[in-house]
A and B are shown apart, each in its own frame.
Chain A
Amino acid sequence: MLEQLEGSKAMAKVIGLCRPQVVCAYPITPQTHIVEGLGELVRTGDVQNCEFINVESEFAALSVAIGASAAGARAYTATASQGLLFMAEAVYNAAGLGLPIVMTLGNRAIGAPINIWNDHSDAMALREAGWFQLFAENNQEAADLHIIAFRLAEELSVPTMVCVDGFILTHAMERIDIPEQAQVDTYLPPYEPVQVLDPEDPISIGAMVGPDAFTEVRYLQFYKQQTAFRLIEKLAHDFKKQFGRAAGGLLRTYSMDEAETVVVAMGSVNGTIKDVIDEMRADGILIGLVCLITFRPFPTRALQEALSHAKDVIVIDKALDAGMGGPLASNIAIALRNLAQTPNMHSVVAGLGGRPVTKAALHRVFRQAVIQPWDGPHFLDLNERVIAREIHRKGKARRSGPSAENVLKLLERERAEKIAAAEGTGR
């Protein structure tokens, strides 16, 4: 049924239709309205046979989910940003134990400086934790991906993170098609654990593993991720058959006919990129887009196929590895290194801490990539005047103070100077 809904509320409804049995909630800033929505649905009886547990930390939230999942219940939680980092140890643990927990990550920046707005720093920080990571482009897909995520997680016993851009999607109202319970039930069978804590058939879970077997246990994690590619494609295919619309899969392409320049990006920024591409195509520029949905496992082969004919590849990262550059760009570079003709790689770091990624800025950077390429990552819309002034100031005195506060002061001064200048010309 079509409804006008906030992204978080839509996700809550659809997660409810997935019949979660244990939902853990902790409102670390920043949270989304997903668990609140679920809490409401449990109270009203719209979601039945579900334990909604208010825990004392994100670490506890995922730990409760770990216990519930190991004991045979379908477990769900949601987090973002600092919350994900606070539960990091349990994130790895859930994957190592092979527990098919589904978690929504309302992607946000990580401090310091403290910032509650969107980027992908959180998802990137734990990209090696052994979870599947799926990125939603819009709120319909954000809702739909959860149905796929439960099935994917449970078929392979691998926890799955549905990554949804914080604020941009989680707090945005959109028209969303909420499926019927019967449809979801057909697509998503009840949870059948491969291992379960049961007094009738006692097992030990979580044993100490030494050097004699650790590599093998880890290899099996790698193996499962590698076998997931076909399943992810099949689940997307099944989803379309069941629900009549596309969701999930490894990646989606857009405007790829004879594309010489191809942009690669994840999440909601793809909407803006598509508009820019349409406008550039109208100008006769052969540009296309690969919208990456599955980031873990990383679909190397699918990316090679999609990008093998590109002359230039522009990767948009909404995260920064301060000692390296854009993490997605690094991953794509590795994926493409063995192509017969390796395209020119251009890394763009954009939208950090919620900075809007504008069409104007994307137009500039997409055109510049081909005619005036740069080395390393390009920081979209970087205020270079402020950077120059701050670096200069830092060089002058040892006790130069905290950069974050200094940058804010400099911006304030710039604004004041601008106003003064405007008033001056006005007189």
Chain B
Amino acid sequence: MNEIQKLKFYQKGTLTVGNRLVDEAQRNVQASLSRSNSLTCGHRACQGCGEALGARYAIDAAMRASGNNLIAVNATGCLEVFTTPYPETSWQMPWMHSLFGNAAAVATGVAAAMRVTNRAGTRVVAQGGDGGTTDIGFGCLSGMFERNDDVLYICYDNEGYMNTGVQRSSATPPAARTATTPVLGDEPGNVFGTGKFVPKIAVAHDIPYVATASVADLHDLEMKVTKAMGFRGARYIQINVPCPLGWGAASHDTIRLARLAIETGLFPIFEAENGRFTHVRKIRQRKSVAEYLKLQRRFAHLFKGGKEDPRVARIQAIADRHIADFGLLETPAGAA
């Protein structure tokens, strides 16, 4: 699949490219009757679940890219629990869950088995939430990267342990209220200056392909998954997937929040190949972080009594730094 067709027209209000506006060949996988529907309906995700949406698009795109010759390995987490309550399964593809922290290693084993049993055409994707990826599964993930094992690892980043009751992970943003970073004390919510952005760490492994993506831009998401499947070796995609439950947001705001995460600069969308950044998705209409934060109850304490907490400015500074570091604006001198 080529880069998405450059268009000046976007769907009203969304800034995304609708299927009707692009060439037929570039319409998304979900729009096709031939989509594999690997993660089928009837699963038990919450209404407005960003992860379910992201996984459906990502896996169907990977299925198409592999000629429906794909095996998925899943870390423990929301995606695993809501898709496979015994004796039901939503996966219309070979799928395996082992443990919380070992999805990358299990996928390495599956890929090795494909090579030794003359099924090298069968591709392997591993997937997990941010907890299973950036925290407990990080050792196995880094090992898989370092060995350049032939696995595409997809992290659905909803910025916390949502399946277990919304606890902090190393992907939780500062000031966010979680069950383990309550709104109490001198520094309510998650602590500033903590956490890690694993896509940059993935780039530091010099693996063939790293990208970030968002459920707010599903064309881009599918394009990146498809592109990733074109490489052999270790690949990593982190997809920003808002969680209505954990973020305290309306189910109908999932896409809006994902879009605001991009447009504020809080979640930079980029690609890197072999350790070098190759592409950045520019911000189209820059938004202030306050607009993004106000839609989420996990940040409600920052706007208590109609006053804006000074920490909103600190979050804005983080967004500004992303914008500067990644070059997210068309004209770097653009107004903030």
A contact set with B: CB distance below 8 Å:
21-22, 24, 49-51, 53-57, 59-60, 63-73, 75, 89-90, 93, 97, 197-199, 201-210, 213
The minimal Cβ–Cβ distance linking A202 to chain B, given in whole angstroms, is 4
Q: Tell me whether chain B's interface is mostly helix, strand or loop, or mixed.
A: mixed
A53 touches B112 (CB 8 A): yes
Partner of B110, one of A59, A71, A203, A213: A71
**What are 6 sample pairs from A and B whose C-beta atoms fall under 8 A apart?**
A22-B116, A59-B139, A71-B113, A89-B101, A202-B94, A205-B97
Contacts of A75 in B (CB 8 A): 109, 113
Partner of A50, one of B109, B116, B147: B116
A73 touches B117 (CB 8 A): yes
B91 touches A202 (CB 8 A): yes
A56-B142, A67-B73, A202-B92 are known contacts. Are A90 and B109 too (CB-CB below 8 A)?
A: no
B99 touches A89 (CB 8 A): yes
The minimal Cβ–Cβ distance linking B71 to chain A, given in whole angstroms, is 5
Contacts of B109 in A (CB 8 A): 22, 24, 53, 63-71, 73, 75
Partner of B93, one of A55, A66, A68, A202: A202
Give 16 new A-B contacts, CB below 8 A, not counting A53-B108, A68-B110: A21-B113, A22-B112, A50-B116, A51-B115, A67-B73, A67-B108, A67-B109, A68-B109, A68-B112, A71-B117, A72-B117, A97-B98, A197-B71, A199-B93, A202-B92, A204-B97
Query: How far apart are the CA atoms of A96 and B115 in the complex, in Å?
Result: 26
Query: How far apart are the CA atoms of A60 and B140 in the complex, in Å?
Result: 6
Query: How far apart are the CA atoms of A73 and B116 in the complex, in Å?
Result: 7
B contact set with A: CB distance below 8 Å:
68-71, 73-74, 80-81, 84-87, 89, 91-99, 101-102, 105-117, 122, 139-140, 142-143, 146-147
A67 touches B117 (CB 8 A): no
A51-B115, A55-B105, A199-B71 are known contacts. Are A206 and B85 too (CB-CB below 8 A)?
A: no
Max chain B C-beta neighbours (<10 A), residue from A21, A51, A65: A51
Contacts of A93 in B (CB 8 A): 98-99
Query: How far apart are the CA atoms of A199 and B68 in the complex, in Å?
Result: 7
B102 touches A66 (CB 8 A): yes
Contacts of A206 in B (CB 8 A): 74, 80, 84, 96-98
Max chain B C-beta neighbours (<10 A), residue from A65, A204, A213: A204
A208 touches B98 (CB 8 A): no
Query: How far apart are the CA atoms of A208 and B84 in the complex, in Å?
Result: 6
A199 touches B116 (CB 8 A): no
A56-B143, A205-B96 are known contacts. Are A63 and B105 too (CB-CB below 8 A)?
A: yes
Contacts of A68 in B (CB 8 A): 109-110, 112-113
B139 touches A213 (CB 8 A): no
Which 9 A-B residue pairings sit nearest by Cβ, starting from the closest? A67-B109, A56-B143, A206-B97, A71-B113, A63-B105, A63-B102, A67-B106, A73-B113, A68-B109
A22-B112, A22-B113, A207-B85 are known contacts. Are A197 and B140 too (CB-CB below 8 A)?
A: no
Contacts of B113 in A (CB 8 A): 21-22, 51, 67-73, 75
B81 touches A71 (CB 8 A): no
- Chain A, Cβ-Cβ closest to B93: A202
Max chain A C-beta neighbours (<10 A), residue from B68, B91, B98: B98
Query: How far apart are the CA atoms of A202 and B93 in the complex, in Å?
Result: 5
- Chain B, Cβ-Cβ closest to A54: B147
The minimal Cβ–Cβ distance linking A19 to chain B, given in whole angstroms, is 10
Partner of B95, one of A49, A50, A73, A205: A205
B84 touches A56 (CB 8 A): no
B87 touches A213 (CB 8 A): yes
Query: How far apart are the CA atoms of A204 and B84 in the complex, in Å?
Result: 8
Query: How far apart are the CA atoms of A96 and B259 in the complex, in Å?
Result: 42
B86 touches A210 (CB 8 A): yes
The minimal Cβ–Cβ distance linking B289 to chain A, given in whole angstroms, is 37
Contacts of A72 in B (CB 8 A): 113, 117
- Chain B, Cβ-Cβ closest to A52: B112
Query: How far apart are the CA atoms of A162 and B250 in the complex, in Å?
Result: 55
Query: How far apart are the CA atoms of A64 and B81 in the complex, in Å?
Result: 22
The minimal Cβ–Cβ distance linking B233 to chain A, given in whole angstroms, is 14
Query: How far apart are the CA atoms of A92 and B143 in the complex, in Å?
Result: 22
